[in-house]
Structure 1
Amino acid sequence: MAAGEPVLRIRGVRKSYRGRPVLRGVSLDLFPGQLVGIVGENGAGKSTLLRILAGDLAADGGAVERVDVLGSCPQDAVLHGAFSVEQHLRFFQAAYGLDSLDRAFELLEQLNCGGYRDERVEALSGGTRQKLNLVLALMHDPRVLLLDEPYQGFDWETYLRFWDLAASLRDRGCAVLVVSHLAYDVSRLDALYRLREGALHEAERTGAERVPV
């Protein structure tokens, strides 16, 4: 469960496109060892919010404070079809300044795709590309993890492996934020919010299989 000071503090974040408000003052604290979900309809501003939190997009107002190493897994994977899985890992190893790929290989095994290390990305299924996308966000052992529709394209076994991985990250003290248009297995979350009309609203976790937005 959550403890200590927030590792991600969001205060009054606002964003508009062509004069249309998308985020109207989003505020949230994310703590170490906390697994939080945000759901919202398509177009509600979920991806916009995550891009602002990751530092990829400037907000029109408000503040975002990050106090630890960040990992971000966008909905659209930034992968090159001509390169293999392992080549992607080595590119990111250099970018992160990692001494080894041990953690990356461990994550590949956890997601049941260790056998694809030599495969070029263009030959992978959408679900396997998403696994690689997730590994690239996790291989430097971030303390804050932002996930945008992280399990799209996963089969049922991989979906369960994802939640096992999310739980293990939480147990290691990582703060995990999962954003999706639907929330399944909400009992796995410590908190659930709906992004509606540009603001976050805390939702009751009933333990149901699906929470409609």
Structure 2
Amino acid sequence: MILKLENISKSYAKKPVLKDVSFQLEEGTLTGIVGENGSGKSTLMRIIAGDISGNRGKVQKNGKTGYCPQEPILFPEITVQEHFRYFSAAYYIEPEVLNERVEVLLEHFNYRKYYKTRISKLSGGTRQKLNLSIALLHEPELLILDEPYNGFDWDTYLKFWDYTKSLKEKGCAVLVVSHLISEKKKFDRIYKLENGILR
């Protein structure tokens, strides 16, 4: 078991957003959570990632977590290269290991030519590639993806699924949260979040 949620509830200004949400993820699985905007998806992801806490309930995680939020958390005045260096320090990744991982990610998602480009000069799709790459940088055992392919072109979309397949084969538990899941056959399980209730 990589992730287990028990009776997670969250309210804002006494308005319930999540109501007794419980589920768990196993190694080497791909799980989807689908729901309309405002259904509580991003709040749930932030609780799992540890960004915020629920009002009650329990989250248990085993292993390293990678989190790709819906809105890229990037610094506009520094480069792609400097982002990798910055986050590698947070992840305690040695320089020689970092170089290998960066090469793989730049090559797979095809944005090597932007390596020394400032974020302010990048398109939304390329920013999302970097956003995803940062979540993958430390080879997590649990990967949380909130609307991960927003802004991707078709080629990058396919490369995303190829990479996800390889992560599963390595034993990573992948959680994809979206308002729309079209590749249903790729998932081991799909939940629906509606009015704060997970089904």
TM-score tier, shorter chain, comes to over 0.9
Deviates more, 1:107-116 or 1:78-87: 107-116
Give the distance between the partners of 2:56 and 2:71, measured in 1 at CA: 26
Give the distance between the partners of 2:106 and 2:15, measured in 1 at CA: 41
- The answer as to whether partners of 1:7 and 1:67 remain within 8 angstroms in 2 is yes
- Residue 82 in structure 1 maps to residue 77 in structure 2: yes
- Residue 34 in structure 1 maps to residue 32 in structure 2: no
> In structure 2, which of residues 16, 37, 40 is the aligned counterpart of residue 21 of structure 1?
16
Deviation at 1:111, TM superposition (A): 0.8
Listed one character per residue, the Cα deviations across residues 111-166 of structure 1 (whole Å, up to 9, x for unaligned) are 11122111111110001000000000011000000000000000011111101111
Q: Match of 1:118?
A: 116
Give the distance between the partners of 2:120 and 2:27, measured in 1 at CA: 36
Give the distance between the partners of 1:141 and 1:28, measured in 2 at CA: 23
Deviation at 1:196, TM superposition (A): 1.0
Q: Match of 1:207?
A: none
Listed one character per residue, the Cα deviations across residues 166-200 of structure 1 (whole Å, up to 9, x for unaligned) are 11101110000000011011111111110012121
Give the distance between the partners of 2:74 and 2:104, measured in 1 at CA: 20
Q: Match of 1:48?
A: 43
Q: Match of 1:163?
A: 161
- The answer as to whether partners of 1:104 and 1:136 remain within 8 angstroms in 2 is no
Give the distance between the partners of 2:45 and 2:17, measured in 1 at CA: 13
- Residue 181 in structure 1 maps to residue 179 in structure 2: yes
Q: Match of 1:206?
A: none
Say which structure, 1 or 2, has more relative contact order (CA 8 Å, 6+ apart).
Answer: 2
Give the distance between the partners of 1:18 and 1:152, measured in 2 at CA: 30
Q: Secondary structure at the match of 1:76?
A: coil
- Residue 191 in structure 1 maps to residue 186 in structure 2: no
Could you say which structure has the higher helix fraction? 2
Q: Match of 2:143?
A: 145
Deviation at 1:105, TM superposition (A): 2.2
Q: Secondary structure at the match of 1:112?
A: coil
TM superposition score normalised by structure 1: 0.90
Give the distance between the partners of 1:87 and 1:143, measured in 2 at CA: 25
> In structure 1, which of residues 72, 85, 97 is the aligned counterpart of residue 67 of structure 2?
72
Q: Match of 2:56?
A: 61
Cα RMSD for the two superposed structures: 0.7
Q: Match of 2:130?
A: 132
Deviates more, 1:49-58 or 1:106-115: 106-115
- For structure 1, the residue ranges without an aligned partner over 5 or more in a row are 1-5, 202-213
Give the distance between the partners of 1:9 and 1:183, measured in 2 at CA: 23
Among all aligned residue pairs of Structure 1 and Structure 2, give the percentage whose two residues are the same amino acid.
51
- The answer as to whether partners of 1:146 and 1:178 remain within 8 angstroms in 2 is yes
Q: Secondary structure at the match of 1:184?
A: coil
Q: Secondary structure at the match of 1:183?
A: coil
Give the distance between the partners of 1:188 and 1:112, measured in 2 at CA: 23
Deviation at 1:93, TM superposition (A): 1.1
Q: What letter matches 2:39 in structure 1?
A: A
